[in-house]
Amino acid sequence: MDDEQRYSQILETLIPKISNFVDAQDGVCSISLLMQDPELKALANEIPNTKEKKITKILANYLDFFALLEGGNIATHKGYENGLVDANNNILKAGKNQSKNKAKV
């Protein structure tokens, strides 16, 4: 299997897991919290060195599913549905396990 096939295979597993992780945080999560998850970290570490490894750059290709927010945060549709993020991508409230003082009020 070449790097391109391996990369596609990893992303097919990684992207839904990231979505589920963010949804479990009420739809808003910091990249740093996301990458503390051992399973997500292990998958990210399997990405071939010839391919993009930076999570924000990977997620930028999936803007139908994720919003990249200020301060290294990401949101899913659940974040908008829960009122944590407004239509202008401003964080209104912190999600579960997020520090309240990190949220823009």
Average pLDDT over residues 82-103: 76
- What domain range includes position 60? 3-102
Q: How many domains does the chain have?
A: 1
Q: Output the pLDDT for position 102.
A: 42
pLDDT in tens, 18-74: 999 999 999 999 999 999 999 999 999 999 999 999 999 999 999 999 999 999 999
Q: Residue 28 is inside which H or E element, if any? A: strand 28-30
Cα separation, 105 vs 102, whole angstroms: 9
